[in-house]
Amino acid sequence: MNATGVSILPESLLSRSCASLAGALFRPLHALVNAPVVIFIVALAAMLFRPPDLKVFPFDRVAFALVVVVFALRLCLRREHLHASAITWPMLALMLLAFLGTLQESDAPQSWSLLAAKWVVPFTLFHIAGSVFRREDSLRKLETFSLAVLFYLTFVSVVFLFDASSLIYPRFILDEGIGIHADRARGPLLQAVANGVCLNILGLIALDCFRRRRRSRVWALALFCTVPLALLATRTRSVWLASAVTVGWLALFGKNRRLRRPALAISTIGVVLISGAWVCSGSGAGLCERLLDRSPVDFRLDMYRAGWQMFTEKPIAGWGSEATIQPEIERRISSFHPERYLFHNTYLELAVERGLIGIALYAWLMVCLFRLAKAPPCRVEKTHFLDSGFRRLWPLILVVYLINASAVVMNYQFVNGFVFTIAGILAAQNARAASGLSV
């Protein structure tokens, strides 16, 4: 106690108290920095279960921001640098063009959401994924997540096909007031095409397990029997076409016997099960009507004609923002009057908005993505998820993406985020191999 009668704590006790307080404050942050794989996977899951039409707290944005913050802290603590690749530059240019267009309609929250889903999220995850998923155990966790999502989407789609709606969770999937395609198997993405693209891509990843002998025969039988039915339940022609092309290519032209045989088996069993469901389940009439339905085709043809006319009028830089495009389309189309005119084609939308500049950048991006199929030189060949053998499937995954992009605009956050996550890991493996590090 000093002359004024005030008690003074010993210096050592004060230091220990401050240290304990600092430890309590930084312990959660330390745990987050040391768990980037879990945070990344949680962010992907949040994107899966939070479609844009769902009016709830934006937990997907919070999870995405957390991934960015944790990655930035890891870069600072480890004194690492963010590495660019050939894919960085066309993606960055497309993102900046989209950002400039969105600035012209800054009062439209939907435009900012589309900007994030189409460009910001995939661009960011592409550059983060290669650093997060480096070790074999982290790749195994990503593979497990992919197979779990495949199982869930397949289950939801199959029970929807057989009218067992009581088994579908979360319940917002059945809400006809949000999203589109409520009469089809649309999953938590609330869009049948997005659901079908995920099923197709994740199904190819599951097939890769047979090359590495990772799954049992019971699991294989379940995959063969259910995934074709789930794809059928989407009632989406572009999804059916992409599935037939990719699995048929593997069955007929696949060089790896461990991939060719399961692809042939899933093709055969798929045809049998689809035929049985067509005859016995009562869904045949609906599927046939969907296959022959021309009303969406007629609308799309009108949109394609209007879009092509607009492109030929401004072929170099395009029309710019949606605020300019929507009134112009409405003036050109008189047969249909939706609330919002959509081109239902990624390439046409890009051509109208950004002209030949946008198409050239997108073509550059796709070429760079296809080039990831080339395996990097590596002294020791490892058998794990996303190894050099997986790269033979990578072009087929891109084919699924591109075929469906010709029928819809690929503004699905989870689909884009997942595809560019895989691309980021493959690009980072190439960069490490080029620098002489372990892949």
> Average of pLDDT values for 370-384?
73
CA end-to-end span of the chain: 64
Q: Which of 6-15, 218-227, 429-438 has the lowest mean pLDDT?
A: 6-15
What are the tens digits of pLDDT across the range 416-437? 999 999 999 999 998 888 876 6
Residue 19, burial from CB neighbour count under 10 angstroms (0-12, 13-18, 19+): exposed
User: What residues contact 289, with CB distance under 8 A and at least 6 apart?
Assistant: none
Q: What is the pLDDT of residue 112?
A: 86
Judged against a pLDDT cut of 70, whether residue 409 lies above it is answered with yes
Q: What is the pLDDT of residue 251?
A: 86
> Average of pLDDT values for 247-263?
83
pLDDT top residue among 397 and 28: 397
Q: What is the pLDDT of residue 173?
A: 93
pLDDT top residue among 140 and 376: 140
Q: Which of 22-36, 160-174, 191-205 has the lowest mean pLDDT?
A: 22-36
- Greatest mean pLDDT among 118-127, 130-139, 217-226 lies in 118-127
Task: Name the token pair of 63.
Answer: 């999870």
What are the tens digits of pLDDT across the range 82-116? 788 999 999 999 999 999 888 877 666 778 888 99
User: What residues contact 8, with CB distance under 8 A and at least 6 apart?
Assistant: 1, 2
Q: How confident is the model at residue 285 (pLDDT cuts 50, 70, 90)?
A: very low
The DSSP secondary structure of 376-437, one letter per residue, reads: PP-SS---STTSGGGGGTHHHHHHHHHHHHTTS----HHHHHHHHHHHHHHHHHHHHHHTT-
Judged against a pLDDT cut of 60, whether residue 290 lies above it is answered with no
User: What residues contact 48, with CB distance under 8 A and at least 6 apart?
Assistant: 149, 188, 189, 414
Judged against a pLDDT cut of 50, whether residue 411 lies above it is answered with yes
> Average of pLDDT values for 273-281?
59
Q: What is the pLDDT of residue 379?
A: 47
> Average of pLDDT values for 205-231?
79
Q: What is the pLDDT of residue 24?
A: 60
Q: What is the pLDDT of residue 81?
A: 76
> Average of pLDDT values for 38-53?
92
Q: Which of 99-103, 143-147, 359-363, 373-377 has the lowest mean pLDDT?
A: 373-377
Encoded amino acid at 316, one letter: I
Judged against a pLDDT cut of 50, whether residue 333 lies above it is answered with yes
> Average of pLDDT values for 201-218?
81
What are the tens digits of pLDDT across the range 132-155? 998 889 999 999 999 999 999 999
Q: What is the pLDDT of residue 124?
A: 96
Q: What is the pLDDT of residue 101?
A: 85
Q: How confident is the model at residue 9 (pLDDT cuts 50, 70, 90)?
A: very low
- Greatest mean pLDDT among 259-268, 299-308, 371-380 lies in 299-308
- Do residues 133 and 425 make contact, with C-beta atoms less than 8 angstroms apart? yes
pLDDT top residue among 20 and 406: 406
- Do residues 308 and 350 make contact, with C-beta atoms less than 8 angstroms apart? no
Q: What is the pLDDT of residue 221?
A: 72
pLDDT top residue among 303 and 270: 303
Give 3-state DSSP helix, strand, coil % of the chain, rounded to 5: 70, 0, 30
Q: How confident is the model at residue 127 (pLDDT cuts 50, 70, 90)?
A: very high
For the entire predicted model, the pTM comes to 0.88
Q: Quick one: how many helices (H) and strands (E) in the chain? A: 17, 0
Average pLDDT, the chain: 83
3-class secondary-structure state, position 375? coil
Judged against a pLDDT cut of 60, whether residue 274 lies above it is answered with yes
User: What residues contact 261, with CB distance under 8 A and at least 6 apart?
Assistant: 210
- Do residues 426 and 386 make contact, with C-beta atoms less than 8 angstroms apart? yes
CA distance 87 to 364: 8
Q: What is the pLDDT of residue 380?
A: 44
Task: Name the token pair of 148.
Answer: 């779990």
Q: What is the pLDDT of residue 361?
A: 96
pLDDT top residue among 212 and 395: 395
Among left, alpha and beta (phi > 0; psi -120 to 50; other), residue 269 is alpha
